[in-house]
Amino acid sequence: MGRNAHIHRQMMLKRRHPDFNGEHQISYRFDFDQCSINLRGRPDAVYREDNFLVVEEIKSVLASAEAFQGYTIENLNNFRTQLDLYLYLLRLQGQDHLRGRLHLINLAESGGDKTLDCAADFERTALLLEAAFSRLLAEIERRRNHYLNLKFVADELQFPFPTFRPQQKRMLEEVSAAAESGGRLMLSAPTGIGKTAGVLFPALKAAFQLDKKIYFATAKTTQRLIVRGLVDRLKLKSAPFSALFLTARAKLCPLEAEVCQWDSCQYICDFEDKMKRFSFIEEMYEGAVFDGENISRRALPVNMCPFAVALALAEYADLVVGDYNYVFDPRIMIRRIFADEGAAKIILIIDEAHNLPDRIRDCYSPEIAYSEVEFLLASLKGKASQWSFHKNAASFLRALVKFFHHLPEAVCPVELSSSDWSDLQAEAETLIMQFNLTPSDISIVKSDPLLKFLNEFIWFAKTAQLGEGMAYLYDNQRRILKALCLDPGLRLKDTMASFHSVIAMSATLAPNEFFAEMLGFYDRASNVNLLNPFPAENRKIRIIPEVSTLYKFRARFVPKIAEVIDRIYAEQPGGYFVFFPSYAYMQETAEWIKSPFLLQQAEMNEASRSDFLAEVAKGGKLFLAVLGGVFAEGVDYPGQLAGVIIVGPGLPLYCLETEMIRDYFDHCYGRGFEYAYVYPGMNRVIQAAGRLIRSETDRGSITLICSRFLQEPYRSLIPRDWYVEEVEELVVKSRN
């Protein structure tokens, strides 16, 4: 709405003034304190009128009729300063007879527009600029000193452990080379060889030498704790770098608000002034370590939003540790550090990078449920006459209901028109603007379902305009319209290219070519695959091929699989994880198992997960869980397991979505089945097997049950360091 009004005003000026210029660049180079500062800007309109050169800015505002009437050039200080600056720059360029003009458009229900003239105040502008330049140069000087200090310590910084683990030195060299040369490195290294230290330490050194920062992106809080331990160790040796550990907004917001209302939240009021008054930034320059807890402790008593403080500090931290989302999800990406070429100053480390493609797929696969649209429409009944926002929202929702009624009576792919969804996005954005003014005394809304829906809808509409690598499907049984991100690599490509360097690490990124595409590197990444350094005799790996876990043979082989599992347990009792391709398969097999066991539940909260893990620590039974689940990846069982048993190659569920992914990659690379099923499935298998040996002292067996492990394409995905010559060495014949 704002954009249209803006264009409308420009068109009108163009008709009225033949010399109208909407693209006029104004720039001027200042010499200040031995520095050269180039200032430039582009006003919305420049034209001649009555012998004056008029510079006009067009601004949309949301204000009640009364407030809008009261607006003068004096009480719109920011707009006025912008105009003053343009006029001052033109004056320095030698222009005379200048006039500033502010055209205001009210987007609120009451509407209206007004034009305010502004006489140039060159003296005030010169003083403002001088003060701003002084502040800017002081900040540059402070940063320069900080970086010089870091550069100085880069050579002195010692590895935080007394000795290196096997392969760690090679890791250090590879990461240094990639980080320093601006490369993209995919590093596969088995767990237990000190990956976090082996990557973070050389990356920090490279960052200090090159005046760069580091963003360490993780999928899990547990990994953040490991990085915290490392930072504390390095700090013991007085390393002067600052670090920031980000905590989710939902955990930090004292109001538990679903959506921030930046204009009215008491914790954001006078935020910039408070940031200047309190010493957070100074402490960053002195090498502080901040996290959600110590920020909240200090920010809340002075009415500052802890999340906003954390975001502000991200700009100053030498190392930022946080979730993937702050880098890769456009809705919450930290623009102040990544946007406007900011990423070029950052070395990005992606932990457990094999998880990233699925995260991106989730992020770009939003859905709209008919039941929610209906519910929201019903909740507006009776309100529609009260505020025009409600009236407009009801009409928007009614149009959506109509749209759903035209969808096919089937579960099937659907085509969405990009331009239709661009219009719908604009409508939803306008509704949110109107919501902010209705009723006028609304401050923080904890969880308004309509506002939440509109925000989610806008994201859906944006994905509908992405084109390549996206598809849409309608499920008429659940009445859900779903976006489906077919190709996460396409969504990641530009982001990955924008960083100075990227280190993507994981226990396994095999096949490398598949992950290079899924992570958006394509042919830009180099690969380093480190082999397991622990003694081969510590783990007994075997394949039992007499059964098939194919769906069509399930009923036939489930009793036999249970028998094999019971036999392994009887031969060497102890704690075993048994991983299945699905809950259904796990439950069906559990009915035949005679040994003591504990079952992973589909829904487990933090407490029940901890109880489960406590039982694993006690050992002595089978722990039945699913491949790719919370117990199969990213969790350690140090010295607790006698073995890991894996039932089948863990292929994703056969369904319309996976089939659409398969078709897409068949079309792209001619390997749809591998990309949609085999590679993700075998990655889960290798991740799950990796739960067993995490140190030199861990011992146990890894058993793979299914004939497919000996067949292509699964066979060639069995890690090379699991056998000497050929996979068949691992085959164990079952006794009956």
Asked whether position 257 contacts ligand SF4 by CB under 6 A, the answer is: yes
Residue number, 13 or 265, with CB nearest to ligand SF4: 265
- Residue 56: which of 12, 118, 128 has the closest Cα? 118
Asked whether position 326 contacts ligand SF4 by CB under 6 A, the answer is: no
Paired with 598 in beta bridges are 623
Stretch that binds ligand SF4, among 289-297, 302-310, 403-411, 603-611 (CB under 6 A): 302-310
Asked whether position 295 contacts ligand SF4 by CB under 6 A, the answer is: no
To the nearest whole angstrom, how small is the minimum distance from the Cβ of residue 435 to ligand SF4?
15
What one-character DSSP code corresponds to residue 722?
Answer: G
Residue 321 phi, psi (nearest 5)? -120, 120
Residue number, 85 or 265, with CB nearest to ligand SF4: 265
Asked whether position 312 contacts ligand SF4 by CB under 6 A, the answer is: no
Cβ atoms within 10 Å, residue 74: 9
Asked whether position 254 contacts ligand SF4 by CB under 6 A, the answer is: yes
Asked whether position 308 contacts ligand SF4 by CB under 6 A, the answer is: yes
Residue number, 343 or 451, with CB nearest to ligand SF4: 451
- 620 Cα distance to chain centroid: 40
Edge-to-edge strand ranges of the sheet holding 576-580: 539-544, 700-705, 643-647, 576-580, 622-626, 597-599
To the nearest whole angstrom, how small is the minimum distance from the Cβ of residue 452 to ligand SF4?
14
| Interface characters, 100-139, with ligand SF4 (x: CB under 6 A) | ----------------------------------------
Stretch that binds ligand SF4, among 286-294, 303-311, 336-344, 672-680 (CB under 6 A): 303-311
Please confirm whether the linkage preceding 652 is cis (ω < 30° from 0). Answer: no
To the nearest whole angstrom, how small is the minimum distance from the Cβ of residue 299 to ligand SF4?
9
Asked whether position 613 contacts ligand SF4 by CB under 6 A, the answer is: no
Q: What's the token pair of residue 528?
A: 């380093």
To the nearest whole angstrom, how small is the minimum distance from the Cβ of residue 265 to ligand SF4?
3
Residue number, 310 or 647, with CB nearest to ligand SF4: 310
Asked whether position 313 contacts ligand SF4 by CB under 6 A, the answer is: no
Residue 323 phi, psi (nearest 5)? -65, 155
Asked whether position 300 contacts ligand SF4 by CB under 6 A, the answer is: no
Long-range contacts of 283-286 (CB under 8 A, 24+ apart): 283/242, 284/242, 284/313, 284/316, 284/317, 285/142, 285/146, 285/242, 285/316, 286/240, 286/242
Stretch that binds ligand SF4, among 260-268, 511-519, 630-638, 675-683 (CB under 6 A): 260-268
Residue number, 254 or 639, with CB nearest to ligand SF4: 254
Torsion angle of C-alpha atoms 6, 8, 12, 15, degrees rounded to 10 = 110
Whether residue 440 contacts residue 389, with contact meaning beta carbons closer than 8 Å, is answered with no
Stretch that binds ligand SF4, among 56-64, 257-265, 507-515, 559-567 (CB under 6 A): 257-265
Stretch that binds ligand SF4, among 91-99, 262-270, 424-432, 708-716 (CB under 6 A): 262-270
To the nearest whole angstrom, how small is the minimum distance from the Cβ of residue 329 to ligand SF4?
17
Q: Which of 68, 159, 208, 307 binds ligand SF4 (CB under 6 A)?
A: 307
What's at 88, amino acid-wise? Y
Cα–Cα distance, 204 to 421 (Å, whole number): 44
Q: Which of 5, 137, 255, 727 binds ligand SF4 (CB under 6 A)?
A: 255
Cα–Cα distance, 37 to 233 (Å, whole number): 41
Asked whether position 59 contacts ligand SF4 by CB under 6 A, the answer is: no
Residue number, 203 or 257, with CB nearest to ligand SF4: 257
- For β-strands 243-245 and 98-106, DSSP reports them as unpaired
To the nearest whole angstrom, how small is the minimum distance from the Cβ of residue 258 to ligand SF4?
9
Q: Please report, as residue ranges, which positions from 418 to 447 form the binding site for ligand SF4 (by CB under 6 A).
A: 444
How many binding residues for ligand SF4 (CB under 6 A)?
13
Residue 120 phi, psi (nearest 5)? -65, 135
Asked whether position 150 contacts ligand SF4 by CB under 6 A, the answer is: no
Asked whether position 311 contacts ligand SF4 by CB under 6 A, the answer is: no
Paired with 472 in beta bridges are 414, 483
- Spell out the residues 6+ positions from residue 157 whose beta carbon is closer than 8 angstroms to its own: 201, 204, 205, 208, 234, 237, 239
Asked whether position 157 contacts ligand SF4 by CB under 6 A, the answer is: no
Whether residue 650 contacts residue 711, with contact meaning beta carbons closer than 8 Å, is answered with no
To the nearest whole angstrom, how small is the minimum distance from the Cβ of residue 446 to ligand SF4?
9
- Residue 281: which of 143, 128, 135 has the closest Cα? 143
Stretch that binds ligand SF4, among 142-150, 253-261, 479-487, 673-681 (CB under 6 A): 253-261
To the nearest whole angstrom, how small is the minimum distance from the Cβ of residue 326 to ligand SF4?
15
Asked whether position 693 contacts ligand SF4 by CB under 6 A, the answer is: no
Whether residue 172 contacts residue 199, with contact meaning beta carbons closer than 8 Å, is answered with no
Stretch that binds ligand SF4, among 135-143, 158-166, 248-256, 503-511 (CB under 6 A): 248-256
Q: Count Cβ atoms within 10 A of the Cβ of residue 610 and give its class: 0-12 exposed, 13-18 middle, 19 or more buried.
A: exposed
Asked whether position 452 contacts ligand SF4 by CB under 6 A, the answer is: no
Paired with 57 in beta bridges are 102
Q: Count Cβ atoms within 10 A of the Cβ of residue 575 and give its class: 0-12 exposed, 13-18 middle, 19 or more buried.
A: buried
Residue number, 249 or 391, with CB nearest to ligand SF4: 249
Residue number, 263 or 696, with CB nearest to ligand SF4: 263
Asked whether position 268 contacts ligand SF4 by CB under 6 A, the answer is: yes
Q: Which of 91, 220, 249, 345 binds ligand SF4 (CB under 6 A)?
A: 249
Cα–Cα distance, 512 to 516 (Å, whole number): 6
Residue number, 291 or 615, with CB nearest to ligand SF4: 291
Q: Which of 207, 260, 337, 541 binds ligand SF4 (CB under 6 A)?
A: 260
Instruction: Give residue for tokens 């909240």.
Output: 296
Cα–Cα distance, 177 to 159 (Å, whole number): 17
Whether residue 58 contacts residue 6, with contact meaning beta carbons closer than 8 Å, is answered with yes
Residue number, 305 or 321, with CB nearest to ligand SF4: 305
Give the CA distances from residue 10 to residues 4, 86, 527, 725, in Å, rounded to whole numbers and listed in that order.
Answer: 10, 18, 53, 74
To the nearest whole angstrom, how small is the minimum distance from the Cβ of residue 249 to ligand SF4?
5
To the nearest whole angstrom, how small is the minimum distance from the Cβ of residue 346 to ligand SF4?
24
| Interface characters, 481-520, with ligand SF4 (x: CB under 6 A) | ----------------------------------------
Q: What's the token pair of residue 535?
A: 């003694």
Residue number, 158 or 443, with CB nearest to ligand SF4: 443
Please confirm whether the linkage preceding 190 is cis (ω < 30° from 0). Answer: no
Residues that bind ligand SF4 (CB under 6 A): 249, 253-255, 257, 260, 265, 267-268, 305, 307-308, 444
